[in-house]
């Protein structure tokens, strides 16, 4: 088991995706700064934040699942924003598909965490 949330595969993948989203969104038009650009960056980063928060409270299964569910929700929001970016012509369909696949993988890992929260529970130190 990971000793730190940064060691989790899901965190590493979500962080990598968030950095790719940042890179890609740099080319979005100026008029999207406070709409799509900020939103897709915020949601992709929120996935990582929620994973970290949930992992810190993993001794409380309901809280843990709730925070991981929040991460999953933010991951879905990122997917939707990427679809808008493609539809508006800001990213190519192939790039959207690549990013969506990475996001889907994050989603599968998050769903595993929600289904099996006991696997992530802190080991008692007795």
Per-residue HEC secondary structure of 41-69 comes to HHHHHHHHHHHHHHHHCCCCHHHHHHHHH
- Residue 1 has a pLDDT of 62
Residue 91 neighbours by CB under 8 Å, 6+ apart: 24, 82, 85, 99
Radius of gyration for the chain, computed over Cα atoms and rounded to the nearest angstrom: 16
47-96 residue pLDDT tens: 999 999 999 999 999 999 999 999 999 999 999 999 999 999 999 999 99
Tokens 């730190």 identify what position? 4
d(CA 16, CA 36): 19
d(CA 30, CA 21): 16
Above 90 in pLDDT, residue 22? yes
Above 70 in pLDDT, residue 32? yes
Mean pLDDT of the chain: 95
Residue 126: pLDDT band by 50, 70, 90 thresholds? very low
Find out whether 123 and 48 touch, Cβ atoms under 8 Å: no
Instruction: Name the percent of the chain lying above pLDDT 70.
Output: 97
As a CATH number, domain 5-115 is 1.20.1440.60
Above 60 in pLDDT, residue 125? no
Above 50 in pLDDT, residue 41? yes
Locate the domains of the chain by residue range.
5-115
């Amino acid at each position: 088991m990971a000793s730190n949330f940064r060691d989790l595969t899901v965190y590493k993948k979500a962080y990598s995706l968030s950095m790719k989203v940042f890179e890609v969104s740099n080319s979005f038009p100026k008029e999207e700064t406070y709409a799509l650009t900020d939103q897709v960056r915020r949601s992709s980063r929120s996935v990582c934040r929620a994973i970290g928060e949930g992992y810190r409270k993993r001794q409380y299964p309901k809280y843990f699942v709730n925070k991981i569910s929040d991460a999953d929700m933010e991951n879905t929001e990122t997917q939707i924003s990427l679809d808008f970016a493609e539809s508006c012509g800001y990213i190519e369909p192939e790039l959207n598909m690549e990013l969506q696949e990475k996001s889907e993988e994050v989603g599968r890992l998050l769903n595993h965490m929600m289904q099996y929260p006991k696997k992530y529970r802190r080991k008692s130190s007795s």
